[in-house]
Amino acid sequence: IMLHSTLALSLLLIAVTSNLAMAIKKEKRAPQTLSRGWGDEITWVQTYEEGLYQAKKSNKPLMVIHHLEDCQYCQALKKAFAENEEIQEMAQNNFIMLNLMHETTDKNLSPDGQYVPRIMFVDPSLTVRADITGRYSNRLYTYEPQDMAFLIENMKKALRLIQTEL
């Protein structure tokens, strides 16, 4: 009887441990790690290539956010972006989302320089939308925390342009 209960207990422990390991593994794979604070409810793609693939497949525009951890402007923009419900909802439902802390090799994503923060839109036809810009002529694709209404307009524009052009 002693051997039987020890065996049962061991099996129980193994089952619990492997379930726990799977739960931990699931946690690690959740999009939260990819959100980097831009919105934990949003499903983020990992790479630009994956973003292009998903955009084409889903017929949704890809939104690319270039930023750096130690950039105060990026941090301020991230906070405004994450706190804006309309942006979060559109990002979740209507866009393929990517935030990058490094430059891509696609020169179309830095038409006026490699500054941060920078937000650009890519059509499902894989065209970088150089016509969807922010309000600053010296840094065309930058947005500031007070520009969230403008960013919302640009997100709607990105969605509208798909429907009219594809």
Q: Is residue 131 part of a domain?
A: yes
Please count the structural domains in the chain: 1
Q: Is residue 12 part of a domain?
A: no
What's the rounded Cα separation, in Å, for the pair 4 and 7?
5
Q: Is residue 62 part of a domain?
A: yes
pTM for the whole structure: 0.79
Which helix H or strand E contains 140, and what residues bound it? none
Q: Is residue 2 part of a domain?
A: no
Q: Is residue 36 part of a domain?
A: no
CATH code, domain with 114: 3.40.30.10
Q: Is residue 42 part of a domain?
A: no
Q: Is 130 exposed, middle or buried (0-12, 13-18, 19+ CB in 10 A)?
A: middle
| Paired tokens of 74 | 């990026």
What's the rounded Cα separation, in Å, for the pair 62 and 159?
10
| Residues 107/39, Cβ–Cβ less than 8 Å | no
What's the rounded Cα separation, in Å, for the pair 36 and 131?
27
Q: Is residue 145 part of a domain?
A: yes
| Paired tokens of 68 | 């750096």
Q: Is 47 exposed, middle or buried (0-12, 13-18, 19+ CB in 10 A)?
A: exposed
Per-residue pLDDT of the chain (166 residues; tens, 9 = 90+): 666 666 666 655 555 555 555 555 544 444 457 999 999 999 999 999 999 999 999 999 999 999 999 999 999 999 999 999 999 999 999 999 999 998 888 899 999 999 999 999 999 999 999 999 999 999 999 999 999 999 999 999 999 988 665 4
**Which domain covers residue 75, as residue numbers?**
48-159
Q: Is residue 166 part of a domain?
A: no
